[in-house]
A and B are shown apart, each in its own frame.
Chain A
Amino acid sequence: MKHNIEYRSGDISRNLLHRIADVCKKEIRIMEVCGTHTVSLFRHGIRTVLPETVCLVSGPGCPVCVTAQGDIDACIALARIPNTIVATFGDLVRVPGTNSSLLKEKAGGSDVRLVYSTLDALDIARANPEKQVVFPGVGFETTAPTIAASILAAKDSGISNYSVYAVHKRVPPALDALMAFEGVRIDGFLLPGHVSAVIGTNAYASFFEKYNMPCVIAGFEPADILLGLLRLAEMIQSGMPALENAYTRVVALNGNPRAEAIMNRVFENGDAIWRGLGPILGSGLLIRREFADYDAAVRFGIRAFDSPSPGGCACGDILIGKLTPPECPLFKTICTPVDPVGPCMVSSEGSCAAYYQYGA
């Protein structure tokens, strides 16, 4: 635990808070793009100690939350195929599809198993050669390389009963799409740390040049986030925007070339449908034809369903920062973590879940 003690120091954090208060004379709106930032802001009580002039809005950076309803329904359909094991990260199991969830399918007899690593999913495939093992590939550039690696490993070791239902998405095209929405007012972006560890600071260069908007990559400990917010506040107040990396201990200019190479070996850029943002050109990571044998959509002939988003659920507007979770009419009334309407209420990185759990 020594690795993060300094970044949780009360003294350093209080010092940064004072400096933010000194700089922020007029109101500024900052979007924390990443769901892990949203959770960390609550977990460390950062919102409760920031000056009132700093307004934080949550962005589209929770991979489960931006997964289209039709893709959730497709994952549920995969779990219903006989002799099929769905091996998934825990985040996805409670996400409500149109009529069910993976958790309910499990209770109903489907074989749904929680794993902490794609390599565990491969182990399950190895141990159950008579069954099909499907991994729902939901995530951003952070997890895409590990899922690509599992496909490469399956190919190398001749595991033929493993496939991925790939709905991975890329963050930079979503930021670009976000700027086009009416009613979205943002003065600066707190950019994700983990995604940037893979794609690097340079991946945002064209976005920054296009909009000339303050952008700071930040880590997830209190001092990391406060440093990112301070730099954003300074840029906004001084009118001198820049693209900066405040997470240099993890993020390099060119990211992690090895992880990116693995990702690009298996995936290619393609269009994707985002919950809340709709279709975004080039924002998806699709399995290359060369690896079609490991593409669950091809293997089982199951594509995204044509499912409407649940009625009344404001997940869409919340994901682009137009509304905050408490402004959704369903928040805490019909939609709760026990009985969620939208994924933002159930994912551990979801902004509705964070607002609900931490009582905002």
Chain B
Amino acid sequence: MKKEVILLDHGSGGKLSNDLVSALMLPVFDNTILSRLGDSATLDVGGTRLAFSTDSYVVDPIFFPGGNIGDLAVNGTVNDIAMSGATPLYLSVGLIIEEGFSVSDLETIVQSMGRAARTAGVSIVTGDTKVVNRGAADKIFINTSGIGLIPEGIHIEGGNARPGDRIILSGTMGDHGITILNQREGLSFDAPVQSDSAPLNHMVARMLAASRNIHVLRDPTRGGVGTILNEVALQSNVGIRIVESGLPVNSSVAGLCELLGLDPLYVANEGKLIAVVASEDAERVLSVVREDPFGLDACIIGEVVSAHPGRVVLETIIGGERIIDMPTGEKLPRIC
């Protein structure tokens, strides 16, 4: 932590973000719940296990094909809770609004937050609104926190992947990140892409009903599938092998990634999950995921191996290999 000022890279979800958390936050906030570093904290409250999570949304632009900052903020926290196997129940909403922001835009955002909450089956039960001087924030920032109930017998976390497990991805990669990038100033390719922002808690509930052998659930948001697989490989101390020819990517997203020099493996998703499932249950879980409206393109993208612990290796289309490393720099700031 010798850097003098905060760089955008410190918020990227990559190596510098991890450094910031482990060097600055963990020693100060020191507790065993935080140090697990899951998408949500797991709390034991009087014998009941709760999942508790928070996330802030600063996406630019605030309206984009497939959603807006409001439903993104609801779906994001719902999904973070669902990835622990919990049933999300209650959300809080904190709004930071720039002076001069359009009331009708705010109304649109709040309406879509309400719709997203109803779709996910959660209630927004507390909140806060602050308005800051023009220029002190960019239009609107939203924080959401939420809690959910973890059913008995469910123990899902990043460290549970075992050699032999199969890796399921619930659909195409990179739709959200590419949509946001495409909307940015000066980059308006006329491409049919839209954000995949969606709640995944109903999908997770069906998966858990179908199998007791789901070891890991993660939503590959910022940093994309490549980053999340690296985290799972490190936390579980296992190797992961994925096959390039089986990776689902929409053709428009693939084309824009080619043009912009991006790898869809590292581009953000907002309505996808990765499930690490015991091999004997993998096909059953996959078929349940495919029955969900947000899981139509789900497929098995690879497996957990005992070789190369902590590393993710991709088998390329021509049969070669390449290591999928943790990304180092901020590819796309303010993507969520």
Identify the A interface with B (CB < 8 A). 1, 4, 8-10, 13-14, 17, 42-49, 94, 103-104, 106-108, 115-117, 120, 123, 222, 336-338, 348, 356-359
| Chain A CB within 8 A of B318 CB | yes
Identify the B interface with A (CB < 8 A). 5-9, 15-16, 19, 186-187, 245, 251, 254-255, 258, 260-261, 263, 311, 314-323, 325, 328-329
Q: Of A14, A47, A107, which is within 8 A of B319 by CB?
A: A14
State how many angstroms separate the Cβ of A270 from the closest Cβ of chain B. Answer: 30
A337 touches B328 (CB 8 A): yes
Q: Of B6, B261, B314, B329, which is within 8 A of A107 by CB?
A: B6
Main secondary structure of the interface of A (DSSP, over half): helix
A356 contact set on B, CB distance < 8 A: 325
CA distance A49 to B320 in the complex (A): 5
State how many angstroms separate the Cβ of B332 from the closest Cβ of chain A. Answer: 11
B5 touches A45 (CB 8 A): no
Which 7 residue pairs are nearest across A and B when measured between Cβ atoms?
Answer: A45-B320, A359-B323, A13-B318, A45-B316, A337-B328, A48-B320, A49-B320
Name the CB-closest residue of A to B308: A359
Name the CB-closest residue of B to A45: B320
Q: Of A48, A117, A336, which is within 8 A of B321 by CB?
A: A48
B317 contact set on A, CB distance < 8 A: 8-10, 13, 44, 222
A9 contact set on B, CB distance < 8 A: 317
A337 touches B318 (CB 8 A): no
A49 touches B15 (CB 8 A): no
CA distance A55 to B125 in the complex (A): 64
Q: Of A1, A4, A120, which is within 8 A of B186 by CB?
A: A120
Name the CB-closest residue of A to B320: A45
Given contacts A1-B255, A107-B7, A116-B186, are A44 and B320 in contact (CB under 8 A)? Answer: yes
CA distance A47 to B322 in the complex (A): 9
A10 touches B260 (CB 8 A): no
B251 touches A1 (CB 8 A): yes
State how many angstroms separate the Cβ of B248 from the closest Cβ of chain A. Answer: 13
25 inter-chain pairs at a CB distance below 8 angstroms, sorted by A residue, are A1-B254, A1-B255, A4-B258, A8-B318, A10-B317, A14-B318, A17-B318, A44-B316, A45-B316, A46-B318, A49-B318, A103-B7, A104-B7, A107-B7, A120-B186, A123-B186, A222-B318, A337-B329, A338-B15, A338-B16, A338-B19, A357-B323, A357-B325, A359-B311, A359-B323
